[in-house]
Amino acid sequence: MELLSIQSSVAFGHVGNSAAVFPLQRLGIEAWAVNTVHFSNHTGYGAWRGPLLSADDLREVVQGVEERGALARVAAVLSGYQGAEEVGQVVLDTVARARELNPGAVYCCDPVMGDVGRGMFVRPGIPEFMRDRVVPRADVITPNHFELDFLAGTTSRTTAEVLAAVDEVRERGPRTVLVTSVLTDETPSDHVDLVAVDDAGAWTTRTPLLPISPNGCGDVTAAVFLAHLLTTGSTPTALQRVTATAYGILEATLAAGTREIQLVAAQDVIADPPDRFEAVRLR
């Protein structure tokens, strides 16, 4: 199975494609990376070096991939952080072309915009672009709880309200939604939930809340969820496996005492996630 991933890249650490490609490969998926930036490190350090690629550069790379015959073979296109509307348009054009060449191609969008406590951290205009232009074109989206509320125009404090927000977003296009970092009035203070919804139902998993929040976890989660969704065709199975994977990576990172997620140390958990967290049906 082949997949095209359009995301940022860093030389040091793991975010964007530098977080997504290795887990995909460990799961047996050929992941073709189209890098939107190539920075020395993620911007959370406050200083970084390296180029931001232009939309024209990205189009050239995608065209070259197509000329090798690879775009016609991809089962899915995955996208993450989109720093400008021009980059987002390249993603949408790539998805349209991939679907033209292979009508079964899936588009998975991680609508990276903001988070609880930080608010929106993308430049003005990007959240609206994601909501109005990108998300409606996606088959699968993986927002966090904060991003889901923005997309739906709601404030969800209960599980029922989260499901209502997901339904509102699903009415606009995406059929499968994974919501990460879900914290409702029903979530114990020392735990965190994930919620996944598709046409067949809705499920949730719950894990202990670890005292770390490293960059790149969302990028890994989107990639791994998509991989298991593609290979199993089952949303609850993908939810269980991505929950065990993400938690295992965080455990390894906490044990190592590092700022960067420990993908290599946790690669066995990525390749063979344990049956650790049950996906409980919500409806």
* Mean pLDDT across the chain: 97
pLDDT, average across residues 138-150: 98
> If you search the block for the tokens 């919501």, which residue do you land on?
179
Q: How confident is the model at residue 110 (pLDDT cuts 50, 70, 90)?
A: very high
Q: Which two tokens stand for residue 253?
A: 């990172």
Residue 108 three-state SS: strand
pLDDT at position 188:
97
> Left (φ > 0), alpha (ψ -120 to 50) or beta: where does 37 sit?
beta
Q: Which two tokens stand for residue 179?
A: 């919501």
Q: What is the pLDDT of residues 167-181, one digit of tens each?
A: 999 999 999 999 999
Q: pLDDT category, 83, cuts 50, 70, 90?
A: confident
Q: For 160-169, what is each residue's pLDDT tens digit?
A: 999 999 999 9
Report residue 151: phi and psi, to 5°: -60, -35
**Identity at 48, one-letter amino acid code:** W
Total structural domains in the chain? 1
Neighbour count for residue 22 (Cβ, 10 Å) = 18
C-alpha distances in angstroms, 164 versus 178, 240, 245?
14, 22, 27
Alpha carbon distance 161, 125 (integer Å): 26
The average pLDDT across 38-47 equals 95
What pLDDT score does 57 carry?
97
Percent of the chain beyond pLDDT 90? 97
Taking the complete model, does pTM exceed 0.85, yes or no? yes
Beta bridge partners, 195, equal 179, 204
Q: Which domain holds residue 104?
A: 2-281
Residue owning tokens 């993400």: 246
C-alpha–C-alpha distance, residues 39 and 135, integer Å = 26
For residue 220, the domain's CATH number is 3.40.1190.20
